Each structure stands twice: as structure tokens, then as C-alpha cells.
Amino acid sequence: MSTELKVPTMAELFAAGQQPEVLFWVGCAGSFDDRAKKITKAFVKILNKAQVSFAVLGTEESCTGDPAKRSGNEFLFQMQAFANIEIMNAYGVKKVVTACPHCFNTIKNEYPVLGGSYDVMHHTQFLKDLLDEGRITMEGGAFKGKRITFHDPCYLGRANGVYEAPRELIRKLDAELVEMKSCKSRGLCCGAGGAQMFKESEKGDQEVNIVRTEQALETQPEIIAAGCPFCNTMMTDGVKNKEKEASIAVMDIAELIATAEEL
Amino acid sequence: MQYIPNILFAILFLFGVGFFVRNVVRLRRNIFLGKDVEVSDNTSQRWKNMANIALGQSKMVVRPIAGFLHIIVYVGFVIINIEVLEIIIDGLLGTHRIFAGLGPVYNFLIASFEILAFLVIVAVVLFWIRRNVIRLKRFTKPEMEGWPKQDGNLILYIEVVLMFLFLTMNASDYQLQQMGADYYVQAGSFPISQFIAVWFQGLSEATLIGIERTAWWLHIAGILFFLNYLYYSKHLHILLAFPNTYYGKLTPIGQLPNLESVTNEVKLMMDPGADPFAAPAEDAPVPEKFGASDVQDLSWVQLLNAYTCTECGRCTDECPANQTGKMLSPRKIMMDTRDRLVEVGKNIDENKGVFKDDGKQLLDDFITREELWACTSCNACVEACPVSIDPLSIIMDMRQYLVMEQSAAPTDLNNMMGNIENNGAPWPFNQMDRLNWSKES
């Protein structure tokens, strides 16, 4: 925990005449939300350990526009998209990795038609590649035999068909991966998507995140793993609501790996 | 005089098919009230999707019980229709079992139709029990009250009646064949109807011929009736599932389409060379309306979606908003879109081919704002649909209308969007603080 994070910015590298292998798109949650910042830092620790040549946009990054687009504000979305694309193209970005499935989906699928085509990866896919290439090794000691259930983020799973990368990482931790009754393509939303994160929910008889947390608790997990900062918040709130926060942790895949590696 | 049945049949047949064609023309007209959309790409993938999803029923079996029963009814429907071909030829030419000459092949065909007919009856009875006795949750949602519920049951009743008529026709025919009656050639194999034929033993030849003819006529008349019932029912999916899966979404389901009209505006806004005082040219077209408030604002594929929906409710069953008691039901979005489209179509028919403003629209009069704002855009409904319907796309288009035409987003969302505009994040944090996390311990 003591090692200082090395977080170069695109601007710094550009000034030094360097080009990183990959741009780490931090996203708004990863930049500002206290819980999500821990995920960001965990991921950077892994990148540092694996000596990945990366950079962030830092203060030049701006919201991808996903919540605006899903609220119906195509105008604001495209303003954001064009601004971001202009900056990424100016730096000659080829490859992007992000720990937020919403940023992932937007940059990967909705930016190309506006002039921003990049090789976009979710951090679980990126980490799996690092593992396959032998750039990180995982012993898994800390999580050996622990029951971990994985909550599929809608924008990673259903939206883009990525189900296996996060699961393979959990298995590599020697943990016992247990599936919820609705998982993968039929996984239940955490309740945050489509800009719901930023508003009160409509009248109903339950909250989505509570129902999803109940499904997770049915698997009697020690850890609920997530791959999205918004899902993480929703599930954390759900676990607190059920007063289980002392026995069940909600952790991002990057945090699991960083912890296992004692980073 | 001997040609009277043939003539009657020809009239019945032409009337039945003609009425159906008239309705298909209307259906097509209504669907193309929607906006044009580019779907001519990637034809090979589209054919594959149609083959897998519609023909191969690949998404039906995600729910194994309903999927299995549905496949029985589907296969039964398709295969038993080969028999209808024979019935039509017989009816027009005054022949009887014209394919009988196929010998063992014919026996095999008739036997398989009979077994399928029996399985269809079993499946349909189970479907009825699921709807009316077990009352599965997805069949008892508020949008299913009234006509949709009746419609669902009526279809099941019609199917059972048709199958029984088919088997009764065969049973009396079989009995007549055994009696060596004139005209009733020895042909076919009757593994199921032979058990019905037991009840016909001892009846006179004339009575049996009466039963056989009545069943034969009612069967074909029933089929023609059912064909014409489709247009007024949710049951159109038996035809529209094929084009609908063909025109289904090919991009990753998380990808929302780009709104080109907005792109042009935004580009102009960001162009430093654009003349800030430029007035639009005199003959410039009226700017396109953003988003959708009525069916004409949707694309024709979305309208095809609406007609294709058979109200199975798998979408609603998987919807997180609906599961937690919110008003939103993706199935209702599709039903409302179809109902409004039917209303608009009638309006056009009544006003000599031109739509006359009726003071109503899809938004508010059919779909409320509360429903639209409850969506998490999780795509569970899109994934769940066995025939590639995309309810989310309609919700998103209607949100676009609310936000870009009416500035009518919920306050929380307006705050969020204000933040994105001002400081590049949905929360009120300064963009200059975006990298602060890297220095925090």
C-alpha cells in the first residue's frame, strides 16, 4: 500500500515525445466517487506492477456522454463525444482501457460513427490479457476457496457479450465462483443504468438494487464481485440495507487482484 | 349441379384469401407510416438470424417448458398445412384425397399429421392451463386485462377446434373407407383418429358422410377464418416473426443509434468557420423533429416490431423496473405502439387516405412519462424477446422527444445534464480536480 502510484498523463508523455501503449479512461465515477476511486487506484497498481505503458487524460478527460444519451439528450451526448474524440485523436490514441462498462460501451460502440475509432477494452478483458501474456501472475492466496459471486454489469455483459473475462479472473484467484439464479445474459440490472443513478426511482414496491442484492445473498457469498463502479455502489448499498456489510464485501475484479497480489 | 360444391368452395376460398390480402395491404401501409431506416446491410447475417431465431426457435427454448410446447405447436402448424394444400385442391377439383396415390408416403404423412395434431391439442391445453389455472405472473399483468386476455384464449380455442375437426374428418373418413363406401379410397394411416372412429361404429353410411363433409368444410372454413383473425389479433407473429428477425438489430445491443440530424447541428456549432449570423435559407426544409411522440416518428422496423409482438411477456418478466413494481412494462410499450398505429391506420381509412389530427398521440395518451423514466436501459427486454423486438429503442426515442423537444426531463436528470455541460461530469465536481485521486493516499 505504500508504493506511490505512477499515473502519467497523455499531456506529459506527449511533451516528452512518448506514446503510451494504452489510454486508461478513468471515467467520472472513477475520478470523483470515493468508492470508485479505490477501484481506479487498484487498477493503476496492477498496471504499475505489470509495467504497462499507459497514461490518463487527467483534466482533459470529460464525461463520455452516456448518461446524457440515455436520458434522451443526444445533443449533449454528441457535444461530449466530439470533444473527447478530438482530444483522443489529437494524441493519436489507438487503444483504450476503462474500468467503467458505460464508458466502455459508449467509446467502443457509439464513438466510431462520430470519428473516434479505437480498440476499446474493459479492464477485466485487459487484465485477462495481461495474465495470459504472463505480465501478471496470480497466486490467489487471499481468496483461496472463498465464495465469490459475480454480478454482470448490463453494459459489459448483455450489451457487449463479455461474460467470461471477469469469471476467468475470479477462477484464477482459486476462489469458488458461484452463480446467481439470474446471471450472464439474463442477469438482473443493479438499477443504476439509463441514468437512473442520478435520479430518484419511480414509484414501485421495491428497489432494483435490493432485489439484485437478495439474489446475490442467496448464493451465500463471502464476496460480491462487480465490474462497474455504479453496480458497485448499488450492490454496496444493497448489502448495507441487508446489514451484511460486516460479513460480505462488494469488490471490483481489479481490487480482488490487487489485494491478492498484496499491492 | 354436381359442380355446386366446387363453386361454393372457390367462392369461400377466394373470399377468405382476398379479405386476408386486403388486410395485409393495410398492414403494410401502416408499417410504412414509420420513418425509413437503413437495414439493407449484411444480408447474410440477417438471413442467418431469421433461420436461427424464427425458423429455428433458438430463443424460445431459453425457457424450456414454454419453448418445448411452442415448438410442438409451431411444427404442427407448419407441417399440418401440407394437408391444407390437399384440401384446397380437393375442394377446387371435387376430388377426394388427391395425394392418395403417394401410397406409403401418404400414409406416413397422414399419420404424422395426426400425431402432431394430437400433440398440438396437448400443448394448447397446457398453454391454457398456464394462462387460466396456474395464472403465470406474466399473463396476469395489468396490460393483459380485457381483450388481450380474451385474444390469447380465443387463439387457443380456435387451435383446439381446428385440430378436433381435422381428427373428426379423418375418423369418419377412416370408418367410411372400412365400410368400402364409394368415393372414399383406401388411403392414409390414422393412428389417432382410429380411436375416435370407434364411436362412429354402427352409424349409417349417409350419417358418416354427413359427419365427414361437415368436419371437412368446417375445418377449411375455420382455417380461412383463423387466417383473417390474425390481423385483428396478437397472433400476427406467426407471419411477422420472419421479417422481424430478419430486420432485427445487428449491432451490439448496448449500442444506441446515432441521431444524424443532431450531428449536423453539433458540427455546425463546433465549427469555428461557421457564420454566427447566418439565417437559414428561404427554401430550407423544416428541421426534423427530435425523438418520437407518436407512431409516425418511429421507424418502420419499430412499427413492424409492434405488430409482431405476441404479448408473451418475457420482456416484462425480465424487466427490473417491472419486477420492482414500477409502471413500466416493455410489453405494454409494444402493445401501446401497435394500438396507436391501428388507430392511426383507421383514421387514415376513414379520411380518404389522409391522417386527420385526432388530438391524440402515443406519448401521454398511451405511454406515460412515468413509464419512460423508469427504464434502466439494461436491455433485458431486448435480450428476452424470442422474435428480436426492441422495446428499449422506442423508450429511448420517446425520451429524446421529452428532453430535446420539450425540455421535460425529471429535475434530477436536468441537474445531472447541467453538470455534464458545465464541468464534464454528472456530479458538480470541477474538471480540474479530475486527477486528484492519483495524489490521494
Given an 8 Å threshold on Cβ–Cβ distance, is B380 in contact with A211? no
- A10 to chain B: which residues are within 8 Å by CB? none
Q: Note the pLDDT tens digit of each residue in A47-63.
A: 999 999 999 999 999 99
Same domain, B184 and B330: no
> Which residue of A lies nearest to B265 if distances are taken between CA atoms?
A75
Look up the ipTM and state it.
0.95
Q: What is the mean pLDDT of residues A54-77?
A: 97
* CA dist list (Å): B354 to B35, B345, B358: 17, 10, 12
Which CATH number is B174's domain given? 1.20.950
Rounded to a whole number, what is the distance in Å from the CA of B390 to chain A's nearest CA? 13
- Inform me whether the C-beta atom of residue A12 falls under 8 Å from chain B C-beta atoms: no
- A41 to chain B: which residues are within 8 Å by CB? 437-438
CATH code for residues A10-129: 3.40.50
* CA dist list (Å): B196 to B87, B163, B166, B170, B171: 21, 13, 11, 9, 6
Question: What pLDDT is recorded for position B82?
Answer: 85
Same domain, B292 and B339: yes
Grid cell at residue B304: 413492424
Rounded Cα gap, residues B385 and B389, in angstroms? 6
Choose, out of B437, B439, B441, the residue to mutate when testing the contact with A (most A CBs < 10 Å). Answer: B437
Rounded to a whole number, what is the distance in Å from the CA of A78 to chain B's nearest CA? 7
Question: What pLDDT is recorded for position A140?
Answer: 62
Domain count, chain B: 2
Residue segments in chain B with a per-residue pLDDT below the cut of 50: none
- A56 to chain B: which residues are within 8 Å by CB? 435, 438
Residue B12 lies in a domain: yes
Residue B23 lies in a domain: yes
User: In the 8-state DSSP scheme, what is residue A107?
Assistant: I
- Inform me whether the C-beta atom of residue A51 falls under 8 Å from chain B C-beta atoms: no
pLDDT at A99 over 60: yes
Nearest Cα to Cα of residue B378 among A72, A239, A102, A246: A102
* CA dist list (Å): B218 to A223, B207, B212: 64, 16, 10
Domain limits for position B348: 260-269+288-428
Residue B116 lies in a domain: yes
Same domain, B149 and B27: yes
Cα torsion A209, A210, A211, A216 to 10°: value is 90
Same CATH topology for A10-129 and A138-260: the answer is yes
Grid cell at residue A90: 489529437
Residue with cell 448464493: A219
Residues 365-424 of B with CB under 8 A from A: 370, 373-380, 382-384, 396, 398-404, 409-410, 412-413, 415-417, 420-421, 424
Nearest by CB: B437 against A40, A202, A206: A40
Can you give the residue ranges of every domain in chain A? 10-129, 138-260
Grid cell at residue B120: 398440438
Q: Note the pLDDT tens digit of each residue in A20-53.
A: 999 999 999 999 999 999 999 999 999 999 999 9
Which CATH number is B404's domain given? 1.10.1060
Residue pair B402/A72 in contact by the 8 Å Cβ criterion: yes
Q: What is the mean pLDDT of residues A15-19?
A: 96
Query: Terminal CA-to-CA distance of chain B, rounded, Å?
Result: 101
The rounded mean pLDDT for chain A is: 95
Same domain, B295 and B230: no
- Inform me whether the C-beta atom of residue A142 falls under 8 Å from chain B C-beta atoms: no
Strand A119-122 relative to strand A176-178, pairing: unpaired
> Which residue of A lies nearest to B63 if distances are taken between CA atoms?
A186
CATH class for the domain made up of A138-260? alpha beta
- B396 to chain A: which residues are within 8 Å by CB? 70, 72
| DSSP code string of B300-347 | HHHHHHHHH-----HHHHH-HHHHTT-S--HHHHHHHHHHHHHHHHHH
Choose, out of A74, A104, A106, the residue to mutate when testing the contact with B (most B CBs < 10 Å). Answer: A74
Same domain, B18 and B152: yes
Rounded to a whole number, what is the distance in Å from the CA of B207 to chain A's nearest CA? 57
Nearest by CB: B438 against A7, A61, A212: A7
pLDDT at A2 over 60: no
Same domain, B371 and B403: yes
| DSSP code string of B95-151 | -SSGGGGGTHHHHHHHHHHHHHHHHHHHHHHHHHHHHHTS--GGGSSGGGTTHHHHH
Q: Note the pLDDT tens digit of each residue in A210-238.
A: 999 999 999 999 999 999 999 999 999 99
pLDDT at A1 over 60: no
Neighbours of B267 (CB within 10 A): 13
Q: What is the mean pLDDT of residues A66-77?
A: 97
Residues 282-341 of B with CB under 8 A from A: 290-291, 318, 320-321, 323-328
- Inform me whether the C-beta atom of residue A153 falls under 8 Å from chain B C-beta atoms: no
